[in-house]
Every structure is written in structure tokens, then in C-alpha cells.
Amino acid sequence: MKTLALAFAALALSAGAASAQDYRIAFGDLDLGSVSGADAFDARVNAVARRACRTGAPLADHQCRARFRAEAMRLLPGVRRDEYARARGGRILAAVPVVYG
């Protein structure tokens, strides 16, 4: 099964130092080109991000989870990232051009 292996350093506010730890997220069993597959991938990433980002400070935790999600997306193979983007692109309701001047 294909998995993402993230070596992610979450800032430990109490110790004032970053500690790197490995996290794995399975994605090989998902159809990332479908909305349900992309949703399942998001749920897996978010669950692991919540475990990785427990500093005790809500804003720091939120920022850490956002960085974690961005790193997970960066590590997806290009083809799988494109599939995911297509699934997420289907949620755009309308694209309205903006004309200035």
C-alpha cells in the first residue's frame, strides 16, 4: 500500500524546541480523483495532523496543522496530486471574471 512518510517537526512550546517525528498516511487504497476519495484522504491527513500538532496553544496548533496538511500535499506524487486537485476542482460553483477599470 502506498503511504506518505512525513518527517514533521512540531514546535514544542513548553520546551522551546522542535522535535521531528515520522508520520505515515496511507493513500494507495483511495481514488483521489473522486470527491469521496479526496474527502477520505483529507480525513486521514487531518487525523494525523491533530496527533502531530498538540502544543496546547490553539493558534499554534492551527498553524501547525495547516503546515502539516501543506507538507502532506507536497509529498503526494504528482499524478495523485493532480487527481486530488481535479476532485477538489469539481466543487467550484462558478468562476466570475473580474474586470477592473
Q: What is the pLDDT of residues 69-101, one digit of tens each?
A: 998 998 888 889 999 999 988 554 455 566 765
The answer to whether 5 touches 49, Cβ cutoff 8 Å, is no
From CA 46, how far away is CA 40, in angstroms rounded? 10
Q: Copy the grid coordinates of residue 83.
A: 487527481
Residue 101 inside a domain? The answer is: no
From CA 21, how far away is CA 10, in angstroms rounded? 8
Residue 11 inside a domain? The answer is: yes
Residue 94 inside a domain? The answer is: no
pTM above 0.85, yes or no: no
Half-sphere exposure of residue 44: CA atoms within 13 angstroms, side-chain side = 20
Residue 100 inside a domain? The answer is: no
Tell me how many domains the chain contains: 1
Residue 23 inside a domain? The answer is: yes
Residue 52 inside a domain? The answer is: yes
Q: Copy the grid coordinates of residue 26.
A: 496511507
Percent of the chain with pLDDT over 70: 69
On the question of pLDDT at 11 being above 50, the answer is no
Positive/negative CA dihedral, 59, 40, 6, 48: positive
Residue 98 inside a domain? The answer is: no
- Cell numbers 466543487: residue: 91
Residue 13 CB partners (closer than 8 Å, separation 6+): 55, 56, 57, 60
Residue 53 inside a domain? The answer is: yes
Domain that holds residue 48: 3-89
